[in-house]
A and B are shown apart, each in its own frame.
Chain A
């Protein structure tokens, strides 16, 4: 926990202890993760469909974490970008007959465009107001999709064709599609890691720690915040687009505020401001929903309880605790 700095109004939630493992440990962890994910469907233990869903949510959670973990902005409306990506990708694939790569591109760009508009409005307020503003704007987007004819309201866009990626890979083959989704996820993951570790990312972290000081050093923090917001929205749109093709439908569930809450929960469980936290959080939450699917509304209750427990006792999340433990061990040795 960064201890002294969080007194500034509207400041970031304190990220996990200095946020990261050593560079070598991080590369090792990445290779293990990529290897595991590549080998898992071959074992036949887990449905590829479930894994694809989990990977889409992992992209979504990583995109969200870029904003809360590294800029300290809690968006409570990220479902609007996930949903926009999904709707546009599904519509362009089904009605306009786009091939999958173009459908995904369309969804991602649409989410980025909405992200620009929302970002321009929302970054005018900080802290708690930022969260309420994004939530309200996403509710507006929800109502627009509820009424717009192309989304088919409550029914959603059904039986979206998956097509052939670049005319080569037949995505209706589940195995093929799985490795495509895995590739997309790994690219998105590395991109976010690159962003976070770049000079641009350093400025974002400076804004998180102390925005007035960043301004006094001559940075136009508004621009950096907007840029981060648009990047995050675009990546969330990517998650939504791929998810729509995987599930072959796009529906109102993905735009609803409960989805915005879910992604917060994923990052919180995994560890805010850690690179691997959102991935683990997404897998944990999706697996939990899968196992508890028969219990109806109790899933929401359990998610609520996890929320409360995490905030009260477990603010660093799974990965944050691991990092803290490793650092504590490291300190013991010395």
Chain B
């Protein structure tokens, strides 16, 4: 039973990362009509930013949690201003191809600098240790990751669905020209949205740094699973992304316990089934 609970926690952790990443993908897709293939690379950059901050600037985990998303988000803003903005009006696929090239460049540069092996990043002192829940030991850091991701996801949902800023954002997603006519600076909103989505990925990277090691390719295969999560959930709804992310993490954890051979493929199998039954995804609107 211990092992089952352990795998469930691991599943929820992965689910937190799926949720944070697919949320960012959905927000970016909504505004820019681009599938951000470089999302996995930005996730990796978040983890590396935490590593740099600690080893070069002496700033610990809590600073990294704040600064790494801002730094990587700024890179995202730069990318949008210098490259992605020129793709408006072109077919979606060019955005996918451009960000794919971007991912190759970023991951290649980091691989040249740091090799393929992992760099260690310690769990912050405040979150070491574990709680005895009676039926299992829950490491504090893992509990923190799950709770904090959930809070960030729900806060994002709240801002987009329940505030005035979110209303502008949703309006600009539907009818950008009309929103512009009301005097709102839509291009700047698009830039900042991209930066925000990228920052979410970087935040997931910081959270992942003490659990998985800091590796140049940590996001490369991971992002493909996130794509499957996105196909399963559909990108139409913010809450949908969050729920699908956590649920699939849990299912993956269960599979690791009951049938470990299938744990790397289970998300893809679920995707195939969903495509058969509900081609637009569980929460998707008809395209």
A and B from one complex: yes
Choose, from A41-49, A123-131, A276-284, A323-331, the stretch at the interface: A123-131
Assess whether B98 is in contact with A312, with CB atoms less than 8 Å apart: yes
- Count contacts on B: residues with CB < 8 A to the other chain: 45
Assess whether B86 is in contact with A312, with CB atoms less than 8 Å apart: yes
Closest approach, in angstroms, between the C-beta of A226 and any C-beta of chain B?
14
Name the CB-closest residue of A to B278: A124
**B169 within 8 Å of A (CB atoms):** no
Assess whether A261 is in contact with B96, with CB atoms less than 8 Å apart: no
Option from A124, A131, A308 in Cβ contact (under 8 Å) with B275: A124
**B51 within 8 Å of A (CB atoms):** no
Q: Which of A132, A133, A144, A261 has the most CB of B within 10 A?
A: A132
Name the CB-closest residue of B to A306: B101
Closest approach, in angstroms, between the C-beta of B127 and any C-beta of chain A?
33
**B100 within 8 Å of A (CB atoms):** yes
Which residues, 1 to 30 on A, are CB-close (under 8 Å) to B? 6, 9-14
**A190 within 8 Å of B (CB atoms):** no
**A159 within 8 Å of B (CB atoms):** no
Complex: how many Å from CA A133 to CA B102? 21
A131-B35, A268-B97 known; A304-B227 Cβ under 8 A: no
**B272 within 8 Å of A (CB atoms):** yes
Complex: how many Å from CA A74 to CA B104? 18
Assess whether A137 is in contact with B91, with CB atoms less than 8 Å apart: no
Name the CB-closest residue of B to A10: B287
**B279 within 8 Å of A (CB atoms):** yes
Option from B230, B275, B276, B287 in Cβ contact (under 8 Å) with A126: B287
Assess whether A144 is in contact with B265, with CB atoms less than 8 Å apart: yes
Assess whether A12 is in contact with B91, with CB atoms less than 8 Å apart: yes
CB neighbours (8 Å) of B231 from chain A are 125, 129, 132-133, 136
Interface of A is mostly: helix
Complex: how many Å from CA A125 to CA B35? 15
Assess whether A297 is in contact with B111, with CB atoms less than 8 Å apart: yes
Assess whether A308 is in contact with B102, with CB atoms less than 8 Å apart: yes
Assess whether B112 is in contact with A298, with CB atoms less than 8 Å apart: yes
CB neighbours (8 Å) of A298 from chain B are 108, 112
A121-B275, A136-B227 known; A311-B268 Cβ under 8 A: no
Closest approach, in angstroms, between the C-beta of B102 and any C-beta of chain A?
6
Assess whether A311 is in contact with B228, with CB atoms less than 8 Å apart: no
**B179 within 8 Å of A (CB atoms):** no
**A98 within 8 Å of B (CB atoms):** no
Q: Which of B94, B101, B231, B261 has the most CB of A within 10 A?
A: B101
Name the CB-closest residue of A to B287: A9
Assess whether A297 is in contact with B108, with CB atoms less than 8 Å apart: yes
**A174 within 8 Å of B (CB atoms):** no
CB neighbours (8 Å) of B87 from chain A are 311
Complex: how many Å from CA A300 to CA B216? 13
Which residues, 101 to 118 on B, are CB-close (under 8 Å) to A? 101-109, 111-112
Which residues, 288 to 322 on A, are CB-close (under 8 Å) to B? 296-298, 300-301, 303-308, 310-312, 315
CB neighbours (8 Å) of B90 from chain A are 6, 13-14, 315
Assess whether B265 is in contact with A303, with CB atoms less than 8 Å apart: no
Which residues, 243 to 262 on A, are CB-close (under 8 Å) to B? 257, 261
CB neighbours (8 Å) of B97 from chain A are 264, 268, 307, 310-311
**A143 within 8 Å of B (CB atoms):** yes
Complex: how many Å from CA A74 to CA B227? 15
Which residues, 47 to 104 on B, are CB-close (under 8 Å) to A? 83, 86-87, 90-94, 96-98, 100-104
Option from A128, A133, A301, A315 in Cβ contact (under 8 Å) with B105: A301
Name the CB-closest residue of B to A260: B100
Name the CB-closest residue of B to A11: B91
Assess whether B109 is in contact with A129, with CB atoms less than 8 Å apart: no
Assess whether A125 is in contact with B105, with CB atoms less than 8 Å apart: no
Complex: how many Å from CA A261 to CA B98? 11
A14-B91, A128-B96, A132-B228 known; A301-B86 Cβ under 8 A: no
CB neighbours (8 Å) of B105 from chain A are 300-301, 304-305, 308
**B224 within 8 Å of A (CB atoms):** yes
Assess whether B224 is in contact with A135, with CB atoms less than 8 Å apart: yes
Option from A121, A140, A147 in Cβ contact (under 8 Å) with B261: A147
**A158 within 8 Å of B (CB atoms):** no
**B44 within 8 Å of A (CB atoms):** no
Name the CB-closest residue of A to B35: A128
Assess whether B271 is in contact with A133, with CB atoms less than 8 Å apart: yes
Name the CB-closest residue of B to A117: B272
**A116 within 8 Å of B (CB atoms):** no
Assess whether B94 is in contact with A311, with CB atoms less than 8 Å apart: yes
Assess whether A137 is in contact with B112, with CB atoms less than 8 Å apart: no
**A139 within 8 Å of B (CB atoms):** yes
CB neighbours (8 Å) of A264 from chain B are 97, 100
Known contacts A137-B271, A303-B104, A304-B108; 5 further A-B pairs (Cβ under 8 A): A6-B90, A131-B93, A133-B231, A136-B268, A144-B265
Give 23 CB contacts A-B under 8 Å.
Answer: A10-B92, A13-B91, A122-B275, A124-B275, A129-B287, A132-B227, A133-B231, A136-B225, A136-B267, A137-B271, A139-B221, A140-B268, A261-B100, A264-B100, A297-B108, A298-B108, A300-B111, A303-B104, A306-B101, A308-B102, A308-B105, A311-B97, A311-B98
Which 10 A-B pairs give the minimum distances between C-beta atoms?
A: A307-B101, A304-B104, A140-B268, A301-B108, A304-B105, A136-B228, A300-B108, A124-B279, A132-B227, A311-B98
B interface list, Cβ under 8 A from A: 29, 35, 83, 86-87, 90-94, 96-98, 100-109, 111-112, 221, 224-225, 227-228, 230-231, 261, 264-265, 267-269, 271-272, 275-276, 279-280, 287
